[in-house]
Chain A
Amino acid sequence: MAERIIELRDISKSYGQVYALGGVNLSVDRGEVVGLIGDNGAGKSTLIKILSGVVRPTSGEILVRGKAVTGWSAARSRDAGIETVFQDRALAVQQTIVRNIFMGRELTGFLGWLKVNKEIEEASRLMREIGFTSKVFTPQSIVGQLSGGERQGVAIARAIYKQAELIILDEPTTALSLTETAKVFHFVRQVRASGRSILFIGHNIHHVFDIADRFVVLDRGKVALTADRSEVKSAEDLINFMEDVAHPGGLAGLHDTGDAERAVR
């Protein structure tokens, strides 16, 4: 059995009276791509924020490589080798690409002085590695001047620096062009080939189906389904399942694919 990178046990999160998550179990093993799907309000974002340490769970246990952790925080999550590409990309748009890539992890030498040249060098290497290069920008360009796809590239470059063991991609293909989406998929395959893990959150079930080894369906704060790739024949299977979960008792009239897709979107 592959090493377990992270495991969430019985995680709950409530905001006042509102339950966002009610007892979620989720684990990611080394080298697997887990696809997390669920309707709006299913609790996907809360789950990601807990994994990345931004939000603390109300109750439950987090295990990193089999060991329970205390004092979970964003810094601790990154130290544990978990990097997150947030849906809003979490970039500081008035800063340079370099400053964004090294945000919270500045390359410093004596007394905290920045190794500016080393940062620029590393940043250009990273950008070239993932294929986000351009004539019009350099590592010292301001992020606010970049297109959506280029910004996503910066966010991904930040995540792969330091060989993270688990990369969380939160709706990485939203608002991207076809070629940019293709680049993201290519990147996911590269990461898996290098033996690292990915948690892929997507709205588009076809995208998730194409890429994941295992699917986790979240519904109203609970895991409704965990299935290996071999157990699911097609994306339509997943869509039908989600529909059943969303509307128990069935919506007989909705079973042509067009409506079904609309229902899960």
Chain B
Amino acid sequence: MSKTMEPDLHEPSTAIPRPQKEWKHPSDQWLRGFILDNRASLGTLGVFIVMMAVFMIANPTVFTTWYLYSSVLTTLPVALFVVVPLVFVVTCGEIDLSFPATMGFASWVFALVVQAGYDPFLGIAAALVTGILLGFLVGSLVVYGGLSSLIATLGMNFLLRGLIQIINEGKSMALTNLADSWAYKIFSSQVYGIPVQIFWAIAFVVLSAMLYNRHRFGAQVRVVGDNPDSAQQMGIDVKRVRVKVFVFVGIGAAIAGTFSVMINFTWWPTAGDGYLLPVLASVFVGGTPTWGGIGTVVGGAIGAVTVSFIQTGVVAAGLSGFYVQFFNGLIIILSLLGHKWNQARYR
């Protein structure tokens, strides 16, 4: 042994006893740990509660009627099915602006199958396959083509929407036979006055939250978004993970598009178009930061609830529709400022 080494080299781990008791952390206290681990989604929940309180004070009668909630619960699920996969995309360090066109394209396939007289379940399957293929196409373009996801997905959104418009020449499709189908009863009816879509959306959110936090896919998405070089050095197929998140958006968009058609019994060539900005806002209002590596699925869902109540709430509170955009912006800015306090950035 060389004499240049310090004497404490040899047995540092046994020299100082390390009882297991020392493994203590503030998060060992249950409540504090829960708040620390979920501060982003809890913050979003706080914003939502304050906003609803303001609306209720402004117009108590409207905000205690069920109709208002029923209408939000019908349209909110459509947004949830795309907000949640987008949390994965943003966590992975990418963005996907092509989901509105994917919604339109997948629901178009659904409408074609149903109109041709096939069972709507077959239509849903066809829409899902379309969503997966489009997600794979967009993802491959970004990942293997080495393109900026911001610009490439924006381009794909225009391209796919353009295709829909060219082929359909702006014409919509009415699907009157949908109302009698089993698929409609299962996915789009009401149970005790509650729109059944919301149950499916909640199940999707819960499953996705587990996928995000407790599955290899979620773990790898977070690591790739955090430090892609390290992920690659540790043998993770970074490109494959990135393509997978785009495929996930494709699946979510296909479900969302199909649900939106089932609500209206009609497919429009513009299906999905209005969702781009509210959905993106929901992700960031929900507390997922823009730089990747971390995010929250449940927060994103609460963000979607908040955003869908803004429009309904502003009008119902007695303000004119001109206030909607103003309040949208206000909530987004306030949420971002709030999350800035929450998010520690380590780079």
Nearest CB in chain B to that of A133: its residue: B18
Contact residue range for chain B?
A: 35 or more
Tell me the bound Cα distance from A35 to B71 in angstroms: 70
Neighbouring A residues of B20 by C-beta, 8 Å: 128
B9 lies within 8 A of A185 (CB)? yes
A185 lies within 8 A of B5 (CB)? yes
Neighbouring B residues of A116 by C-beta, 8 Å: 214
User: Is B169 part of the binding interface, using a Cβ–Cβ cutoff of 8 Å?
Assistant: no
Of B142-150, B189-197, B223-231, B305-313, the one contacting chain A is B223-231
Of B115-123, B233-241, B264-272, the one contacting chain A is B233-241
B13 lies within 8 A of A95 (CB)? no
Tell me the bound Cα distance from A128 to B22 in angstroms: 11
Nearest CB in chain A to that of B344: its residue: A144
B346 lies within 8 A of A52 (CB)? no
Q: From residue 201 to 245 of chain B, which have CB atoms closer than 8 A to chain A?
A: 210, 214-217, 219-220, 222-223, 226-227, 229-237
A104 lies within 8 A of B231 (CB)? yes
Known: A124-B23, A186-B13. A104 touches B5 (CB 8 A): no
A183 lies within 8 A of B23 (CB)? no
A93 lies within 8 A of B216 (CB)? no
Neighbouring B residues of A133 by C-beta, 8 Å: 18, 22-23
* A179 contact from B12, B216, B294, Cβ within 8 A: B12
Known: A103-B223, A112-B215. A137 touches B25 (CB 8 A): yes
Residues 250-279 of chain B, each 1 if its beta carbon lies under 8 Å from chain A, else 0: 000000000000000000000000000000
Tell me the bound Cα distance from A189 to B10 in angstroms: 9
- 4 smallest beta-carbon distances between A and B, as pairs: A144-B346, A131-B13, A104-B234, A75-B235
A90 lies within 8 A of B23 (CB)? no
* B9 contact from A104, A112, A186, Cβ within 8 A: A186
* A182 contact from B9, B229, B230, Cβ within 8 A: B9
**Minimum Cβ distance to chain A for residue B103 (Å):** 28
* B22 contact from A77, A105, A135, Cβ within 8 A: A135
* B231 contact from A84, A92, A112, A128, Cβ within 8 A: A92
Known: A104-B236, A106-B216, A140-B27. A183 touches B346 (CB 8 A): no
Tell me the bound Cα distance from A74 to B238 in angstroms: 11
**Minimum Cβ distance to chain B for residue A84 (Å):** 7
Nearest CB in chain A to that of B291: its residue: A94
Q: From residue 37 to 86 of chain A, which have CB atoms closer than 8 A to chain B?
A: 52-54, 73-75, 77-78, 84, 86
User: Is A113 part of the binding interface, using a Cβ–Cβ cutoff of 8 Å?
Assistant: yes
Tell me the bound Cα distance from A91 to B234 in angstroms: 10
User: Is A226 part of the binding interface, using a Cβ–Cβ cutoff of 8 Å?
Assistant: no
Residues 55-94 of chain B, each 1 if its beta carbon lies under 8 Å from chain A, else 0: 0000000000000000000000000000000000000000
Neighbouring A residues of B222 by C-beta, 8 Å: 92, 94-95, 99
A183 lies within 8 A of B12 (CB)? yes
Tell me the bound Cα distance from A142 to B220 in angstroms: 16
Residues 225-259 of chain A, each 1 if its beta carbon lies under 8 Å from chain B, else 0: 00000000000000000000000000000000000
**Minimum Cβ distance to chain B for residue A240 (Å):** 18
B22 lies within 8 A of A210 (CB)? no
User: Is A114 part of the binding interface, using a Cβ–Cβ cutoff of 8 Å?
Assistant: yes
Nearest CB in chain B to that of A137: its residue: B25
Known: A74-B233, A84-B233, A106-B216. A138 touches B23 (CB 8 A): yes
B216 lies within 8 A of A112 (CB)? yes
Nearest CB in chain B to that of A77: its residue: B235
Known: A93-B347, A179-B12, A186-B9. A103 touches B215 (CB 8 A): no
Q: From residue 1 to 44 of chain B, which have CB atoms closer than 8 A to chain A?
A: 2, 4-6, 8-13, 18, 20, 22-25, 27-28
6 contacts between A and B (CB under 8 A): A95-B223, A113-B216, A133-B23, A138-B24, A145-B344, A185-B9
User: Is A27 part of the binding interface, using a Cβ–Cβ cutoff of 8 Å?
Assistant: no
Known: A99-B219, A182-B9. A91 touches B230 (CB 8 A): yes
